[in-house]
Copies of this chain bind each other. A is one copy, B any other.
């Protein structure tokens, strides 16, 4: 397998982008990535697109061919492939692109992620997002993603003494980080009090425990090491990009408090990169709900099982802590444009490792991204190095 580098990154603003179409949003991210890499579109050899529900949000499938077309690449007839694993779709796109270059099949490829969510209204959007869970055994019985994560949060509190304040602190941290990110959906700090007094979405999860509905897109351009050197002096290498699966319905899992897909993907990724959890300097993790960030600390090995909340209490994952987590603002405050999220995380880690993250810059040589589908039936862990 060849060494693979990220040579260009781009991201649209995340948020309620009512004045832009799905196509506009994807293009803005793609063009930014091409400009960042100093590439022309015609040098792209293949495209991979992460998108969860174009069929339901837009009445449009065949998303990857559509994007290749609107990006002006139809004349090149390049293979353009959509992948889907709920909100881990972006991570899958990154992984397919990584494999295409690592295997020697292609020299330069683009991985994009995109979702236009808010046009359908929040009730429909929530129902569509619930199709990440098991429709027959969970959703038909009334479960939503929030209610499923609420059960996990409740059990975590029972078993390990995690408190509503701990969850709220994750939200406060991520909102604070987002104030430094011009692409973020929410750029205002919130106080612990505001978070703790926000209305319940699914008890014990309150409004500020839940990532918002967002439109957005992101793109990264990957190249082989040799080719990368022609385009950039600051390549960011992907040392591992591993994907794992798990039971889709929570009731089938032996332990609700461990996402086995995350554990397995992380274990493989650390092994492939030849490092351990403690070697990670910065991470973007999948905080679709605040409890998910606490679980991520544990399942990625940043903390022992049950002790995730300690990291947030002690400021270990703050921007100035030992392992800054979600410097972008995370899904909570940068926004969660579903299929775009896994790619957006890669954009942030790349900027951090290049030293181009401006006011939210942390000191980092090695970064990690964790993208999760639904309640954890899919996980992708990617490790990046300077």
* Interface mask (A71-112 → B, CB under 8 Å = 1, otherwise 0): 001100111111111100000100110011011110000000
- Chain B, Cβ-Cβ closest to A261: B77
Q: Which residues of B contact A61 (CB under 8 A)?
A: 52-53, 84, 86, 131-132
Q: Which residues of B contact A69 (CB under 8 A)?
A: 245-249, 252, 377
Question: In the complex, what distance in Å separates the CA atom of A59 from the CA atom of B92?
Answer: 21
Question: In the complex, what distance in Å separates the CA atom of A265 from the CA atom of B81?
Answer: 14
The majority secondary structure among interface residues of chain A is: mixed
Choose one: B68, B131, B244; the contact of A62 (CB below 8 Å): B131
Question: In the complex, what distance in Å separates the CA atom of A84 from the CA atom of B92?
Answer: 13
Q: Does A204 contact B (CB under 8 A)?
A: no
Q: Which residues of B contact A58 (CB under 8 A)?
A: 135
Question: In the complex, what distance in Å separates the CA atom of A89 from the CA atom of B133?
Answer: 22
Q: Does A243 contact B (CB under 8 A)?
A: yes
Question: In the complex, what distance in Å separates the CA atom of A377 from the CA atom of B61?
Answer: 12
Choose one: B52, B83, B139; the contact of A81 (CB below 8 Å): B83
Cβ-defined contact, B85 with A83, below 8 A: no
Question: In the complex, what distance in Å separates the CA atom of A96 from the CA atom of B66?
Answer: 19
Among A203-256, those with CB < 8 Å from B are 242-249, 252
Question: In the complex, what distance in Å separates the CA atom of A132 from the CA atom of B60?
Answer: 7
Cβ-defined contact, B131 with A74, below 8 A: no
Choose one: B1, B105, B135; the contact of A60 (CB below 8 Å): B135
**Which positions in A face B, CB cutoff 8 Å?**
1, 21, 23, 52-56, 58-66, 68-69, 73-74, 77-86, 92, 95-96, 99-100, 102-105, 127-128, 131-136, 139, 242-249, 252, 260-261, 264, 373-374, 377-378
Q: Offer 6 A-B interface pairs, CB within 8 angstroms, sorted by A.
A: A62-B248, A62-B378, A63-B84, A66-B377, A79-B242, A102-B103
